[in-house]
Amino acid sequence: MFLEKTLGFNPLKMKMRTEIIAGATTFLTMSYILAVNPAILSTTGMDKAALFTATALASAISTLLLAFMAKLPFAQAPSMGLNAFFAFTLCQAMGFSWQQALAAMLIEGIIFILITFFNVREMILDSIPVNLRYAISAGIGMFIAFIGLKNAGIIVSNPDTFVSLGKFTSTSVLGIIAILLSGVLMARKVKGALFYGIIIATIIGIPMGVTVIPKGWFPISAPGSVAPIFCQFDFSHFFNFNMVLVIFSLLIINIFDTIGTLVGLAEKTGIVGKDGSIPRVKQAMMSDAIGTTCGALLGSSTITTYIESASGIAEGGRSGLTAFVTGILFILALLLSPIFLLIPSAATSGALVLVGVLMLDSVKKMELGDVSEAFPAFITMITMVLCYSIADGICLGILSYVIIKICTARFKQLNVMLYVLAVLFLLKFIFG
């Protein structure tokens, strides 16, 4: 069958309706990137309309690549952490122009393609201990839930306690409604629970004033041209030592962001082998690498696999058809952006929190009786949330794993790659 060969859709085990709803759910859960990415990157002086088009195109290209190459139900888009790194660290703090920052993104993408082709990323993935893989999955679940609570204003920053419970505003109340609604629908085993939760919460948000319909609103609009930011590279600082550190930092963050997300999502799809292997993981990583390079050409920041893909997986998405639907919706968003931009972040909080609940079941598979295993796993999970970074959580988890195994003379439980990674992480934290 054509769909099985191209997208891995098996009609004997999968339902097309389920895959379509899963793809739509993933898109709705991550569609905030269409508004947020242009808002962040435009602070560097880049054209906002061009950034919207570049964000949609880069997300569509990379997600469709993943659908056909890896046949997995995952979606890709510009990384939320790395777009902030691009705007606020590279351009504002370090003084690079956005053209120079884009050049760094391009070089990173090309290096990504090379190290993926030569299986370096796969070697890194294979070196991660099984217990840490379960911790990564559970940690990502808690991280996703935290993002949902933060986006709804249920959890807010506090100068005295860092975070605290937010006030009851229209936005936070809508977020609470979305979470409870999604929970009830899922508990009642409603197919498409997270998808319907987002749609219903968006509609409820209209009389509450959270879902804002602008005056003269029309559902269709022409996309802006990418010409102002397309291939606008400046390589004048390429051999600068600071630029070398920047590219190294980008590589470390993106490698482990993607690896962590792939491990976490693969656990939920049930495709992980007994030996911890993930089918077609190299193709998934290659689509990410090519997507990053295409994103830089279009004028966007680094592409990564999105943890919000877990919302589509929770709806039953199991093949590349889910990713294909998500990719097509990113293309449609170019013309229907007014519709997709209506969805408030509070309306998606229910999907994110429920995904966190579902991913927490990885904890029961972890070895917690041995402190040398439990301690690094705990560090991985808690620092993902507290550092607001999947990559930092994995780095600190692996570092603590290597240190505690060395200090307890359990050298046989370590491999060469773990030693190499530990040294690289130390260098990153010292010089990064």
Q: Work out the average pLDDT over 71-81.
A: 89
Q: For the ranges 106-110, 155-159, 251-255, 347-351, which has the lowest average pLDDT?
A: 251-255
Average pLDDT value for residue range 382-392: 86
Nearest CA-CA partner of 32 in 208, 204, 176, 152: 152
**CB within 8 A of 271, min separation 6: which ones?**
72, 278, 279
pLDDT at 21: 95
State both tokens at 334: 């170019």
Q: Are 297 and 230 in contact (CB under 8 A)?
A: yes
Alpha helix locations (H) across 188-280? 193-208, 241-269
Q: Please, are residues 172 and 149 in contact by the beta-carbon 8 Å criterion?
A: no
Query: Which structure tokens are listed for 167?
Result: 């006030």
Q: How far apart are CA 276 and CA 128, in angstroms?
A: 10
Tokens linked to 384: 């993902």
What pLDDT digit, counting tens, does each position of 273-305 carry? 777 778 888 899 899 999 999 999 999 988 989
CB 36 within 8 A of CB 340: no
| Distance (Å, whole) CA 249 – CA 44 | 20
* Residue 330: predicted pLDDT: 96
Please tell me the distance from the alpha carbon of residue 141 to that of residue 143, in angstroms, as a whole number.
5
Indicate the pLDDT class of residue 406, thresholds 50, 70 and 90. very high
Render 372-416 in DSSP notation, one character per residue: HHHHHHHHHHHHHHHTT-HHHHHHHHHHHHHHHHHHTT-GGG--H
* Amino acid 426: pLDDT: 87
Which SS3 state, helix, strand or coil, does residue 77 take?
strand
Helix (H, G, I), strand (E, B) or coil at 47: coil
Average pLDDT over residues 373-395: 90
pLDDT at 98 (0 to 100): 94
Query: Residue 432 — pLDDT band, cuts 50, 70, 90?
Result: low
Using only the alpha carbons of the chain, give its radius of gyration.
21
Q: What is the pLDDT of residue 339?
A: 78
> Poorest-confidence range of 79-88, 102-111, 204-213?
79-88
Residues forming beta bridges with residue 156, ordered by sequence position? 164
Instruction: For 17-60, write each residue's pLDDT tens digit.
Output: 999 999 999 998 888 888 878 878 888 999 988 999 999 999 99
pLDDT tens digits for range 11-27:
888 999 999 999 999 99
Residue 158 DSSP symbol: E
User: Does 136 have pLDDT greater than 90?
Assistant: no
The mean pLDDT value for 203-215 works out to: 91
Mean pLDDT taken over the chain:
88
The whole-angstrom separation of Cα 94 and Cα 89 is: 6
CA distance 109 to 298: 13
The reported pLDDT for the residue numbered 323 is 96
Who has greater pLDDT, 156 or 352?
156
For 215-226, what is the mean pLDDT? 85
Q: Identify the CA nearest to 129 among candidates 383, 365, 426.
A: 365
Q: What is the pLDDT of residue 256?
A: 78
Can you read off the two tokens belonging to residue 122? 């796969």
Sign of torsion over alpha carbons 294, 68, 311, 345 = positive
Distance, CA of 23 to CA of 312 (rounded, Å): 6
Give dist(CA 73, CA 316) in Å, integer. 9
What's the token pair of residue 44? 């560097």
> Can you give the pLDDT at residue 293?
93
- pLDDT tens-digit readout, 350-373: 888 888 888 787 888 888 999 999
Tokens found for residue 43: 């602070």
Tell me the average pLDDT across 334-351: 83
With beta carbons less than 8 A apart as the criterion, state whether 260 and 136 touch: yes
pTM equals 0.80
DSSP-based three-state secondary structure for 163:
strand
